[in-house]
Amino acid sequence: MLAVLSPGQGSQKPGFLAPWLDLPGAEARLRWWSALAGADLIHLGTRADADEIKDTARTQPLLVAAALLAAEHLPMHDVGLVAGHSVGELGAAALAGVLPAESAVTLAGVRGREMAAACALEPTGMAAVLGGDPDEVIAALTALGLHPANRNGAGQIVAAGAVDALDKLAAEPPARTRVIRLQVAGAFHTPYMAPAETALAAVAAGVPASAPARILLSNLDGAPAGHGPETVRRLVRQVTAPVRWDLCMRSLADLGVTGVIELPPAGTLAGLVKRELKGEGAPEIVTLNTPADLPAARRLIARHAGPAARPAAPPFRVVVSPAAGRLDRSAAPAEGAGVRTGQVVGHIATGRGQVEVTAHDNGSLVEWLAHHDDPVAPGQPLVRIGGTH
């Protein structure tokens, strides 16, 4: 099976769209999408400097437009799976057939503007924590009041929150880690973005959505998306929820992906996949940055093409936390045990009492993704349910 990946914010480079404007119809397409996004995408992708395309309000629609423009020149009917990182999910949703391209670009414009406005409300930021034990890193972030905004696998967790807390993290990093401050406007994928989520939800509620025509992995839990409107709600929820790219990559392996194409501006996601999925069975990867890379991408598709139709039932589901609190697994079924729809598999201890965690499908409890007594956030993946039992 072949996967096409759409990158997120931070992957942009000055002038990266310039070569694509030589293709027939590309400039006209970008002018139309510029009107929808409320930003001059041609200027941003060709002449703007690094500071200008660092602006969240401009970068987000630019990245979605770039991915969709390049994908128009690929035989996407032969692609079995798509996924995107952060705002890249909007591009992936369009490639999966959930959204029209115009809706994806429009929502990216709204998302970018509203997230930029949320960033201006108080001083927040992000920092990459490289290395260390993941559980120890998460515990250190929690103690400082920080959030694991991105869990990118390959020994990389991105912390987000108040600037003073990030300063403390940099001064006393967790054992065997290196902390790198990121040049971003604020704490993306955390509760600080709640005003942006509310504003995006108001617009997204009127967007028509269809069921995916191919597998679309969700940043929320790495699971394949299902019903169209529910997928749009997940895209909105992702503004404040952590990006679980580690679980998306695990799904690439679980689903037997043998080839990967990263859309422009390519390199970041390909690097994460290369570091995480290595050894025997590692996927073949093509980074698509200019039209000169199209022949290699098309050859990869020809070698690894899988069924484009979405499977009737995903091979697994992920149960997420219904509330903020601490996970109680004291009476939980063991890994490998059979579970049924609606069965209670755990509880969240909150300030208002216990909240049940229930299975939403019949199958086997494949793997716990959080430990007993861990602090958890709403929407955080807790356990994987797979197969039938």
Q: Kindly report, residue by residue over 47-75, the tens digit of the pLDDT.
A: 999 999 999 999 999 999 999 999 999 99
Are 350 and 328 spatial neighbours (Cβ–Cβ below 8 Å)? no
Catalytic residue among 86, 103, 251, 321: 86
The position carrying tokens 């996970």 is 327
Residue 86 known to be catalytic: yes
Question: Same fold for the domain at 2-118+191-304 and the one at 316-386?
Answer: no
Q: Is residue 189 flagged as an active site residue?
A: yes
Contact (CB, 8 A) for 78 and 308 = yes
pLDDT at 318: 79
Kind plus residue range of the DSSP H or E element containing 281: none
Rg of the chain over Cα atoms, rounded to whole angstroms, equals 20
Mean pLDDT in residue range 132-153: 93
Instruction: From the options 2.60.120.460, 1.10.2020.10, 3.40.50.970, 2.40.50.100, give the CATH code of 316-386.
Output: 2.40.50.100
- Average pLDDT on 332-341 reads 88
Least confident of 273-287, 295-309, 344-358: 295-309
Distance CA 253, CA 243 (A): 18
pLDDT at position 322, please?
78
CA-to-CA distance for 195 and 215, rounded, in angstroms? 30
Tokens of 118: 């949320």
Whether 292 has a pLDDT exceeding 70, the answer reads: yes
- State the residue for tokens 């992936």: 92
Which range is least confidently modeled, 38-52, 255-269, 349-363? 349-363
DSSP per-residue letters across 359-371: -SSSEEEEEESS-
User: Does 290 have pLDDT greater than 50?
Assistant: yes
| pLDDT at site 281 | 83
Q: pLDDT tens across 11-61, in order?
A: 999 999 999 999 999 999 999 999 999 999 999 999 999 999 999 999 999
Does residue 314 surpass a pLDDT of 60?
no
Measure the CA–CA gap between 218 and 83, rounded to whole angstroms: 7
Q: In whole numbers, what is the pLDDT of the chain averaged over residues? A: 91
CATH number corresponding to 124-182? 3.30.70.250
Q: For a pLDDT cut of 90, what percent of the chain falls above it?
A: 73
197's torsion region: left (phi>0), alpha (psi -120 to 50) or beta?
alpha
Per-residue pLDDT, 366: 86
| Calpha distance 196→238 (Å, rounded) | 11
Alpha-carbon gap, residue 327 to 94, rounded angstroms: 35
Whether the pLDDT of residue 311 is over 90: the answer is no
Spatial CA neighbour of 250 closest among 228, 221, 211: 221
Residue 191 has pLDDT above 80, yes or no: yes
Binned at pLDDT 50, 70 and 90, residue 387 comes out as low
Predicted confidence band of residue 239 (pLDDT cuts 50, 70, 90)? very high
Q: Which of 85, 147, 189, 304 is catalytic?
A: 189
pLDDT digit string (tens) for 113-140? Answer: 999 999 999 999 999 999 999 999 999 9
In the predicted model, is pLDDT for residue 283 greater than 50? yes
pLDDT of the residue at 389: 42
Tell which phi-psi region holds residue 228, choosing left (phi > 0), alpha (psi between -120 and 50) or beta.
alpha
Domain edges within the chain: 2-118+191-304, 124-182, 316-386
Give the pLDDT confidence score for residue 354 in this predicted structure.
87
Residue 132, CB-side half-sphere exposure with 13 Å CA sphere = 21
Residue 110 and residue 362: Cα distance in Å, rounded? 38
3-state SS assignment for residue 19: helix
Check pLDDT > 60 for residue 313: no
> Which stretches of the chain are assigned E, i.e. beta strand?
2-6, 81-84, 124-131, 147-153, 156-162, 177-182, 215-216, 259-262, 284-287, 316-320, 325-328, 338-339, 344-350, 353-358, 363-368, 375-376, 381-386
Q: Per-residue pLDDT tens for 68-110?
A: 999 999 999 899 999 999 999 999 999 999 999 999 999 999 9
Q: Output the CATH code of domain 2-118+191-304.
A: 3.40.366.10
What confidence score (pLDDT) does residue 353 get? 84
CA atoms within 13 Å, Cβ hemisphere of 270: 17
